[in-house]
Structure 1
Amino acid sequence: MGRKKPATTAATPTRPEDERLGIAPSFAYGLQHVLTMYGGIIAPPLVIGQAAGLSQLEIGVLIASALFIGGLATLLQTIGIPFFGSQLPLVQGVSFAGVATMLAILSGGGGLPAVFGAIIASAVIGVLIAPFFAMIVKFFPPVVTGVVITSIGLTLIPVAGTWAMGGAGSEDFGSPANIGLAGIALAIMVLLTKFGTPALARLAILISLVLATIVAAFLGMTDFAGVFDGPIFAIPTPFAFGLPTFEPAAIISMLIVVLVTFTETTADILAVGEVVGTKVDSKRIAAGLRADMLSSAVSPVFNSFTQSAFAQNVGLVAITKVKSRWVVAAGGVVLVLLGVLPVLGRIVAAIPTPVLGGVGVALFGTVAASGIATLAKVDYKNNLNLIIVAISLAFGMLPVVLPDFYHEFPTWFQIIFHSGISSATIMAVLLNILFNHVVRRSNSRGDRNAFIAAAGRTVPEEALDALEEGDYYVGGKLIDKDGVEVKVVPTGSIAAVDPPQH
């Protein structure tokens, strides 16, 4: 009687991001991703809708459309199809990079149809140029990626601070009650992360959001009374605001937004690849950028705007250590449901903004810490990597700490450099090319300046033969572990290799 063959088991995934956790945990962790970026994804349609003079009901259509398309775009980015999708745990949503440009198009009198037409045309062009943009990945060594990841975290921290204060425009903005509620959310998250079981620690963000919201309800700082006001189910209607129009000037201005989106999405792909610990090459970046642009081209059909990866969720991957792209794909399904079930969106919207701010402080700080960890691996000896990091980070922080820094510059310049992430990335790439590719040979002579770290010292290997465990050198004398001075003799003497016995 032959031996029974062992049962076939699923192959262990070769990439960390391919791990499957099961339906229940995937949707639980996916919901965390949705809650983390929810405020960011609904902000652009809210701003654009108000600027376009839409009613509250029409703005609600824009928000539902943004959630619906964001979910579909997330599924495309995480699951992927040939040539489209990075297959990384990246949540997609409406990019804030294009808000200023879209406001300018609206002020020109074209209305939402002109905005949608510019997005469609620029996105189609973006699909074609994505592979060429992705070729610059070779100019993203650790000294650049470390700057990019750090700048992502530092740039997002003011966002978390604004949320913690109650959200821009709130009547009680900056009140002790708002900041205190944010502190409660942060404290719950920290305690769960430190003292909870591994399962609770991974769900610390979600649990802290729920518990802090319950606290807010008892304090009268949130209200669920209007959750069931309005439709329960609604599918976004195509071209609800009219057919798109195509204005050359608007298309050109949106092309600049596409390039900014490319820069930020490339940074996010590199950042999440570093956090996950997986290989990211130019083909993968190109597939991710094409997914961005395909989603952006389809987005206006369903009344939404340019799509891009959300940096906020990189921090969630880093802090929870849940690297599966299928978890984020489950979050994409949740976004689609929020888009077709407005009642769910109203429930999520009832979470107080300060609660999001409390957990955001930890999430975005974790992104910055991941960037610092990458920078710690960089070689700073006998090169100009230190000045690359110094200038790039400072350049990226300028528009963050001084939002009006480029106020007098042309609009196209403001669109590019008003983003701290884009500013830091562009400067880091350019300085890396200059110092480590163009003029690297000129520094090989051993030139020194204030920004070049001293070259590493060397000691002849044979000198180590005379040392014993615990020996140390101080004040010009060699001392052994017992505090007795060891005599130093000229090179070649037998005593140099015959240490005294005690």
Structure 2
Amino acid sequence: MTDNSTTKSLPPGSKRPEDAWLPVPKLFAYGLQHVLTMYGGIIAVPLIIGKAAGVDGDQLVALVTASLFVGGIATLIQSIGIPLVGSKLPLIQGVSFAGVATMLAILTGGGSLSDIFGAVIVASIIGFVVAPFFARIIRLFPPVVTGVVITAIGLTLIPTAADWAMGGDEAAADYGSVQNIALAFITFAVILLLSKVGSAAISRLSILLGLVIGTGIGAAMGMTDFSGVGQGAPVAIPGLLPFGAPSFDLAAIGSMLIVILVIKTETAADVLAVGEIIGTPVDKKRVAAGLRADMASSVIAPFFGSFTQSAFAQNVGLVALTGVRSRFVVSAGGVILILLGLMPVLGQVVAAVPMPVLGGAGFILFGTVSGSGIRNLKEVKFDGNMNLIIVSASLAFALVPVVKPDFYEHFPAWVQTILHSGISSAAIMAVLLNLLFNELSFGNSTNPSVYAAKPARFLTPSNLKDLREGDQFIDGVFVDCDGEEIPLVPDEQAQEIQAAIDCGDIVDTADVKQVAHRRS
């Protein structure tokens, strides 16, 4: 769905859809939708790490509010941008899940939160410096790579949606209960119905309205708890270094550098993905600016008590689903995050949204990301090359840690950190296979293996130059080396059929035969 209204509100001299300005109420309505979409994820990391570090209740609140506050700042840096920093794309930022395993390993190895914060600061500074190098590999992300990565982003997030739908807490007694899953599917159905209604405004706000309605239904089912709302101070400004000065452990820094590489890979994929979705040019300078925004906000985060920051992939799905492409929408979401970080009472209200409600919305959002990737793969030519094996192997590689989370548990920690992410696995495999089969032409066969899609072929009575070795004339028809018929089409149809092949309307010889027969 495309938001055509945004094209009428572009500033003078701009042709980029992400520069559109919407009325302020719409900006904040759509921005709130982004915040609600990623709220469960942004508070999950500080809760996990805080509990593992054994902090008390007030410190845990400080970790959560700091993550909201810094996520808002990071979003503004990414979407509005400053010179050389920020992609100026509709990407919302927050605490990255990629670092959870490494941070838990630091804690279990005898480290502290101060060690984690120090490692994040040093690794992020290094990541900021090397961002332009990552941007230079932009040409190694053609549609066959970006399509795979976008598809993998959606597929690998589905388990997260399922976990939310089941309740989000495996230790809870009602985890996976029929009641939880029923609420998730009710929310799912409500969003689908709202997406179908005739009003474009309601359709675009279907996720937000679905979350509100789902929360109301959850309250009626006794699954929503507002008792924590209003507890504590109404305003609390995050303090600097709330957990003391950071410490710098070399082993912790080394392990965090691996996390930074993973985050940069995922963010580069998100920048490319959202560029494809909204239809705006993304070059290496813009990718580098987006990576610098990640790293700059990750350097800032530990000073307030938060962790590594990255673009949230699920919000890329929200952009695709709503068709609202303005970067100022996510900027409004950044402002909301800052307010949530300053006013705990607002965060307490949003926290009352039951996890199954978020799960129901997640099924649609994450599925939409995969759909966008599949749409991107439509641009890829599969005839006479090895692109089919690139897509197939990369997606299989992406799903290995999803369907078998312990697959790499006996590998070194750095291997686990990189390959435990299905997104990183897909990106690495797709880039390497694209290099092998498409960039390094040496050794490529003129007749690719069975994994290559067979190109559409036809012959005309006056021009049989396309006959190849192995073609035969049997029982009045031409057949190829596999015994499949090569259609013979009239001369006057040749140009039309070739044009249809070039634009993808005809993809194999069977289609050629059908078209020729229909038009003869």
TM-score by length of 1: 0.90
Query: Distance in 2 between the 1:441 and 1:273 partners?
Result: 32
**Displacement of 1:285:** 0.5
**Displacement of 1:57:** 1.6
**Displacement of 1:351:** 0.3
Question: What is aligned with 1:133?
Answer: 134
Question: What is aligned with 2:410?
Answer: 408
Query: Distance in 2 between the 1:225 and 1:273 partners?
Result: 42
CA RMSD of aligned residues (A): 2.2
Question: What is aligned with 1:253?
Answer: 255
- Describe the shift of the 1:228–1:297 C-alpha distance in structure 2 as closer, same or farther (beyond 3 A): same
Query: Distance in 2 between the 1:313 and 1:431 partners?
Result: 28
- Describe the shift of the 1:86–1:99 C-alpha distance in structure 2 as closer, same or farther (beyond 3 A): same
**Displacement of 1:183:** 1.0
Question: What is aligned with 1:194?
Answer: 196
Query: Distance in 2 between the 1:109 and 1:467 partners?
Result: 75
Question: What is aligned with 1:493?
Answer: none
Deviation digits for residues 145-179 of structure 1 (CA, Å, limit 9, x no counterpart): 00000000000011111111111323211111111
Query: Distance in 1 between the 2:197 and 2:374 partners?
Result: 26
Deviation digits for residues 388-439 of structure 1 (CA, Å, limit 9, x no counterpart): 001000000000000000011111110000000000100000000011011x
| SS state at 2:385 partner | coil
Aligned partner of 1:65: which letter? Answer: A
Between 309-318 and 108-117, the greater mean CA deviation after superposition: 108-117
**Displacement of 1:110:** 2.8
Question: What is aligned with 2:39?
Answer: 38
Q: Is the Cα–Cα contact under 8 Å of residues 165 and 355 in structure 2 kept in the other structure?
A: yes
Aligned partner of 1:217: which letter? Answer: A
- Describe the shift of the 1:11–1:58 C-alpha distance in structure 2 as closer, same or farther (beyond 3 A): same
Q: Is the Cα–Cα contact under 8 Å of residues 79 and 86 in structure 2 kept in the other structure?
A: yes
Q: How many residues align?
A: 469
Query: Distance in 2 between the 1:237 and 1:310 partners?
Result: 25
Question: What is aligned with 2:390?
Answer: 388
Aligned partner of 2:45: which letter? Answer: P
| SS state at 2:307 partner | coil
Question: Which residues of 2 match residues 282-293 of structure 1 at below 5 A?
Answer: 282-293=284-295
Query: Distance in 2 between the 1:118 and 1:466 partners?
Result: 69
Question: What is aligned with 1:203?
Answer: 205
Between 142-151 and 216-225, the greater mean CA deviation after superposition: 216-225
- Describe the shift of the 1:343–1:455 C-alpha distance in structure 2 as closer, same or farther (beyond 3 A): same
| SS state at 2:94 partner | strand
Query: Distance in 1 between the 2:516 and 2:493 partners?
Result: 10
Q: Among 236, 239, 242, which residue is 1:240 paired with?
A: 242
Q: Is the Cα–Cα contact under 8 Å of residues 460 and 491 in structure 2 kept in the other structure?
A: no
**Displacement of 1:480:** 7.8
Query: Distance in 1 between the 2:69 and 2:93 partners?
Result: 11
- Describe the shift of the 1:246–1:477 C-alpha distance in structure 2 as closer, same or farther (beyond 3 A): closer
Question: What is aligned with 2:274?
Answer: 272
- Describe the shift of the 1:127–1:460 C-alpha distance in structure 2 as closer, same or farther (beyond 3 A): same
Question: What is aligned with 2:306?
Answer: 304
Query: Distance in 2 between the 1:425 and 1:269 partners?
Result: 13
**Displacement of 1:324:** 0.5
Question: Which residues of 2 match residues 100-139 of structure 1 at below 5 A?
Answer: 100-139=101-140
Question: What is aligned with 2:88?
Answer: 87
Aligned partner of 1:315: which letter? Answer: G
Q: Is the Cα–Cα contact under 8 Å of residues 146 and 376 in structure 2 kept in the other structure?
A: yes
**Displacement of 1:479:** 9.9
Query: Distance in 2 between the 1:203 and 1:61 partners?
Result: 31
**Displacement of 1:226:** 1.7
**Displacement of 1:459:** 3.6
| SS state at 1:110 partner | coil
Query: Distance in 1 between the 2:75 and 2:132 partners?
Result: 20
| SS state at 1:236 partner | coil
Query: Distance in 2 between the 1:405 and 1:478 partners?
Result: 48
Query: Distance in 2 between the 1:214 and 1:452 partners?
Result: 52
Larger Rg: 1
Question: What is aligned with 2:476?
Answer: none
Query: Distance in 1 between the 2:306 and 2:461 partners?
Result: 66
| SS state at 2:443 partner | helix
Query: Distance in 1 between the 2:515 and 2:51 partners?
Result: 76
Aligned partner of 1:265: which letter? Answer: T
Structure 2 gap ranges (5+): 1-9, 463-488, 495-509
Question: What is aligned with 1:294?
Answer: 296
| 1:447 is the counterpart of 2:465 | no
Structure 1 gap ranges (5+): 1-8, 487-502
Question: What is aligned with 2:376?
Answer: 374
Deviation digits for residues 227-267 of structure 1 (CA, Å, limit 9, x no counterpart): 01112100011111110011111111111110000000011
Query: Distance in 1 between the 2:458 and 2:304 partners?
Result: 65
Aligned partner of 2:261: which letter? Answer: L
**Displacement of 1:376:** 1.8
TM-score by length of 2: 0.87
**Displacement of 1:386:** 0.5
Question: Which residues of 2 match residues 462-501 of structure 1 at below 5 A?
Answer: 464=490
**Displacement of 1:118:** 0.5
Q: Is the Cα–Cα contact under 8 Å of residues 19 and 328 in structure 2 kept in the other structure?
A: yes
Question: What is aligned with 1:50?
Answer: 51
Question: What is aligned with 1:341?
Answer: 343
| SS state at 1:41 partner | helix
Q: Among 431, 436, 439, which residue is 2:438 paired with?
A: 436
Q: Is the Cα–Cα contact under 8 Å of residues 223 and 354 in structure 2 kept in the other structure?
A: yes
